[in-house]
Structure 1
Amino acid sequence: MSDANQNRPSHRLFAVNGEGDNARWTDIGVAWATRDGKGFTLNLNALPLNGRVVMRINDAKDEKKGRG
């Protein structure tokens, strides 16, 4: 892995309210795998009060769509 990719978050975090096509996805932060591979470090920009948090692999096509 290159140095540039080490700082890029491996996952994105979303607050999701609703189900299916009616779900509202809000980007709330990013995550990186820990060095030992046994967990994740989260950097949250917001903390949802309801709904659920979904963690998705950070993929360029997901970034364009704004959700997973």
Structure 2
Amino acid sequence: MADTRNKQQKTSPKAPDFLAWHVTQKGDKSYWNKVGAAWAHKDSAGYTIQLEVVPINGRIVLRQPIEDPREPATDQEGA
């Protein structure tokens, strides 16, 4: 009989709920650089944030990812 109590199920990676952007202001312009992502916890009580870099100035803004408008839509009716 196989022991399956302590085996973790393999799941495909989940897309992030938010992208993390480092925003700096220079004059009248804002410069946005993607620095990481955030995923909601299963209990919806918090987030896990993964940053590739940690900025020392400016601010970090979390924004929901948007689809690239240059890519074709995948949910076309009647296709």
Verify same fold: TM over 0.5.
Answer: yes
- Percent identity of the aligned residues? 31
| 1:15 shift after superposition | 0.5
The match for 1:51 is 58
> Given the two structures, how large is their TM-score scaled by the length of structure 2?
0.64
| 1:32 shift after superposition | 0.5
The match for 1:14 is 21
**Which consecutive unaligned segments of at least 5 residues does structure 2 have?**
1-10, 72-79
| 1:58 shift after superposition | 1.3
Distance of 1:60 and 1:46 partners within structure 2: 24
User: SS in structure 1 opposite 2:68?
Assistant: helix
| 1:61 shift after superposition | 3.4
Higher relative contact order (CA 8 A, sep 6+): 1
| 1:38 shift after superposition | 1.1
Q: Which amino acid aligns with 1:40?
A: Y
Q: Which has a greater percent of helix?
A: 1
Deviation beyond 2 Å, 4+ runs, structure 1:
none
CA-atom RMSD in angstroms: 2.7
Q: Which amino acid aligns with 1:24?
A: Y
Distance of 2:41 and 2:65 partners within structure 1: 16
State the structure with more CA Rg: 2
Counterpart selection for 1:28 from 12, 23, 35: 35
May I ask how many residue pairs the two structures share in their alignment? 60
